Structure 1
Amino acid sequence: MSAELQIAAKVVELVRALAGRSAEAEVTVRHHALALTRFANSAIHQNVAEASTGVRLRLHLDGRTAAGSTTLTGADGLRSLVERTIAAARVTPPDPAWAGLTRPAPLHVSANHPGSGEQSGLAFGFDEATARATPAERAERVRAFVDAAGGLETAGYCRTAYISAAFANTAGQAVTGRTAEAAMDGIARAGGADGVARLATSRLAGLDGAVLGARAAAKARAGAEPVELPPGRYEVVLEPTAVADLLHNFAVFGFNGKAYAQKQSFAELGTAQFDPSVTIVDEPLGSRGEPAAGLPFDDEGTPRRSLVLVREGVTRAVTHDRTSAAQVGAESTGHAAPGSRSWGPCPAHLRLEAAPLAAGGSDGGPPMIEASARPLVARMRRGLLVTDLWYTRVLDPKTLVVTGLTRNGVWLVEDGEVTGPVGNLRFTQSYPQALGPGRVLGIGGESVLLPDSWADSRYAAPALHLASWNITGNASG
């Protein structure tokens, strides 16, 4: 039994002893270790690392629900947690939306996440070297990034993260799992123009700082002396770094089960809302040889598995915890999180499926263009190549109209050739509409794993060629 599961089992025992057998309780114990190597002005300026074990208890007692947490895992700390949570439950208003506990169920298995033992989720291919990475190993990637930038000013980070977790409840469910991630995100700057490159992976050995640094530098050098373009609708190729923002907003506002239950999501199950080329899958257990990206169970102990949200343009599912599932007569999809009853359950490992292109289609082209985007650019008559989107804000959650800015490189493309850099632009665009039927002109041949701001989520995004993107102004005004 893992250390985390031992702690969870102890809390369950305390609940039974102090609150009685009628109490329903669920306990999540998570050990999270995050290490970050930051660099600026082409030099490392900070190494930080933190490791903590947190215990979260949710208790349903006499029709009332309360939650508490602690990082004190000794006997006194755990007893205090249970006592405080019982006291809170007794003065909390009744909870008619309580959906009960997850019953005992085995974890789902896959080629990438077969488990080890009946209720253990020790990920296949889990990389111990990443979980135990040293500052020197991260610094090697930073040095390679800086050297490959060829004298340009650089900044960014290389991080490694490790999570080991366990769940237990009074209904008898008890599961464990662990996951590791490495990520790098860096920019290079030339004459006021920035270029970016970023990547996430389950193995630190899969991060090549030299490749990322060279790409960021090529973008920066190609972005000098940009021109301004007038507002209007433009054909665009969005590189994977930009597409990741679409996936993030789809996850938070579109495929969110609470938003769907409250009719605040664009999602209409069984409806062809996207172009037939679009398939979107949530894959917490990993895919295509990549080890598991997330834990094999959620914060309610529900086993996770691959979930198809959009298949060939048709919206098939949204993500649920037990509460949102009960509201619409569905089953939990394993997406409960500490705040999901308030904010809604969201997918954290979305993949927009790539569309393999003709052989040789991605070879050649300017070095600042991500490889899988090059054949899409070659097909464009007149439009924009966009590296990155940032400072995006939702104006209308129902239609998912988003406003934001481009960043880290925009270029005008005419007759399949990049003709020059463009200044950053403001856009106002419905993300589902941009990927609607007939609006996707092409999808890149590779989905690139990209880091999110949270170390336990990431997105796999290919480049996208879209018929129309609504540019509403320049970044300068």
Structure 2
Amino acid sequence: MLTKDQFADLSEKIIKLSPANETEVSYAGSENSLTRFSNNIITQNVIKKDESISILLVKEGKTSRVRIHEFDDESINKAFKNGMEIMSLSKEHDKFLPLPEAQKYQEIRNCFFEDTANFSPIERAEQISFAVKEAEAKKLSMAGIYTSGETRSAMANSNGLIAFDKRTNAQVSLTAQSETSYGWAEDGNRDVAKIDIEKATQTAIEKCLTSQNPTEIEPGKYDVVLEAPCVTDFLSYLNWKAFGGLAYLENRSFMAGKLGQKIFGENITIKENAFNEMNPGKPYDGEGMPKKPVTLIENGVLKEIVHDRYTAQKVGTESTGHGFGFPNSIGPYPSNLELSAGNSSLEEMIASTERGLLVTHFHYTNTLDHFNLILTGMTRDGLWLIENGKISRPVMNLRFTDSIPRVMNNIELISKELQFKHTFWGSGFVVPSIKVKDFNFSSKTER
């Protein structure tokens, strides 16, 4: 992968050779490794390396974008030829803004760790071996994945902007299995040394053992204690469908026109913060603009939304640094959400519940109504009935159907412990566990 200096030299060369009036050069490089295991045996080791350069060409109001995976002179010149041919067939783009000038970026620490970038298959296997041996001791089967790797990104343009970022990431996902039950846990960090394989293993095993022989339960409305991974599903769809400036301006979000209004419960504060040490983000966005912290929801009130340069210009404000490379049709949206902590513990939430359910996490979650953010999904890997403040028995999985606005107005308790949890799309958020009143389960399953 390219170093910062190598990218600076290459981007300068591309910009000098460019036949366009304005040129932007974006680099993406990655080297990621994965170890997969099932039935207590490693089944797959994969290393994927990839790098590419994306070139945006601008001339006389027209634009084109071309991508190359080889960076020699022949590939660069071919990219220019293809890009100019595409541009000759294009119309002027009314949403294009002149490329930004050089920017200053705030340093974001704790993003890159050499030991994580160099974490070997043998080291991943050693940690997997611990999980497998613990499962075998309980006569359980263990399956999962362990990933580690490094990504680098950079951009430069003909107006003097240049930016570079590199970061590492590691994640383990464990599923313990018996004849009648599953138990799941995960952990992830930029620093592989901070992954607690022992805790994740014991959590997965305990959930599996305590959810054996589940019994059927009828769907309906239940008070629920949702562990932190469940909360990432709600934030993911708020992130994707509601908090972006374009969705707001085009009235595609239930939040449209409600800035300054109370839309969630008073105990809800949601921030977008690339500078959170638990989930450090990139210092710049896809347009090269600096990332800014944004308080989206404060005590239930919609305070702000995120902007790229286009949506910011439309409403007379500045970009918050949440744009993507031009062209894009989705507009800006956050990438480092955090739901602020409360003052309860998971145990206190359970103890306060007369009759309800404890949920490990969801899967197959998707929207039924994009505007009102009505979601449906399944519980998975551990669901228990709570009676008189205590976990009484494991129950079979249920399908939920409920709206995020209703959930966010029915949260009774929030944990004081925050955790970084990955999302289905590979990013992650900083979230607590929550207790929700009258959460709606719409149908049942056979296991």
Q: 2:287 aligned with 1:300, yes or no?
A: yes
Change (3 A) 1:232 1:449: same
2:363 equivalent in structure 1: 390
Contact 2:96 2:326 in 1 (8 A): no
Q: Distance in 1 between matches of 2:358 and 2:248?
A: 33
Q: Distance in 2 between matches of 1:144 and 1:314?
A: 46
Contact 1:223 1:421 in 2 (8 A): yes
* Mapping of residues 321-360 of structure 1, within 5 Å: 321-338=308-325, 341-357=328-344
Q: CA deviation at 1:157?
A: 0.7
Contact 1:384 1:413 in 2 (8 A): yes
Q: 2:192 aligned with 1:192, yes or no?
A: no
Q: CA deviation at 1:124?
A: 4.5
Q: Which deviates the most, 260-269 or 421-430? A: 260-269
Q: CA deviation at 1:453?
A: 4.2
1:134 equivalent in structure 2: 120
Q: CA deviation at 1:472?
A: 0.7
Q: 2:273 aligned with 1:283, yes or no?
A: yes
* Mapping of residues 422-437 of structure 1, within 5 Å: 422-436=395-409
Q: 2:304 aligned with 1:317, yes or no?
A: yes
Change (3 A) 1:230 1:73: same
Give the aligned residue type for 2:174.
G
TM-score of the superposed pair, with normalisation by structure 2: 0.93
Q: Distance in 2 between matches of 1:340 and 1:274?
A: 33
Q: Distance in 2 between matches of 1:130 and 1:321?
A: 32
1:212 equivalent in structure 2: 200
Q: 2:267 aligned with 1:269, yes or no?
A: no
Q: 2:67 aligned with 1:81, yes or no?
A: no
TM-score of the superposed pair, with normalisation by structure 1: 0.88
Q: Distance in 2 between matches of 1:50 and 1:263?
A: 40
2:420 equivalent in structure 1: 449
Stretches of structure 1 that go unaligned for 5 or more consecutive residues are: 114-122, 363-372
Contact 2:111 2:167 in 1 (8 A): no
Q: CA deviation at 1:300?
A: 0.9
Q: Distance in 2 between matches of 1:190 and 1:101?
A: 57
Q: Distance in 2 between matches of 1:300 and 1:83?
A: 24
| TM-superposition CA deviations, 1:73-103 (whole Å, max 9, x none) | 1222222222222221221122111122222
Q: CA deviation at 1:257?
A: 2.4
- Look up the SS of the partner of 1:106 in the other structure: coil
Q: 2:4 aligned with 1:13, yes or no?
A: no
Q: 2:144 aligned with 1:171, yes or no?
A: no
Percent identity for Structure 1 against Structure 2: 30
* Mapping of residues 37-186 of structure 1, within 5 Å: 37-109=35-107, 113=108, 123-124=109-110, 126-149=112-135, 150-186=138-174
| TM-superposition CA deviations, 1:380-399 (whole Å, max 9, x none) | 12111111111111111111
Q: Distance in 1 between matches of 2:139 and 2:332?
A: 45
Q: CA deviation at 1:266?
A: 2.1
Contact 1:61 1:90 in 2 (8 A): no
Change (3 A) 1:174 1:8: same
Q: Distance in 2 between matches of 1:222 and 1:440?
A: 26
1:118 equivalent in structure 2: none
| TM-superposition CA deviations, 1:234-262 (whole Å, max 9, x none) | 11110011111111111111213222121
- Look up the SS of the partner of 1:259 in the other structure: helix
Q: 2:406 aligned with 1:467, yes or no?
A: no
Q: Distance in 2 between matches of 1:339 and 1:311?
A: 31
Change (3 A) 1:53 1:394: same
Q: CA deviation at 1:338?
A: 4.4
Change (3 A) 1:476 1:322: farther
Change (3 A) 1:148 1:8: farther
Give the aligned residue type for 2:416.
G
Give the aligned residue type for 1:473.
S
1:413 equivalent in structure 2: 386
Count of aligned positions: 440
Q: CA deviation at 1:340?
A: 7.3
Q: CA RMSD in A?
A: 1.9
Change (3 A) 1:125 1:84: closer
Change (3 A) 1:356 1:137: farther
Q: 2:420 aligned with 1:440, yes or no?
A: no
Q: CA deviation at 1:339?
A: 7.8
Stretches of structure 2 that go unaligned for 5 or more consecutive residues are: none
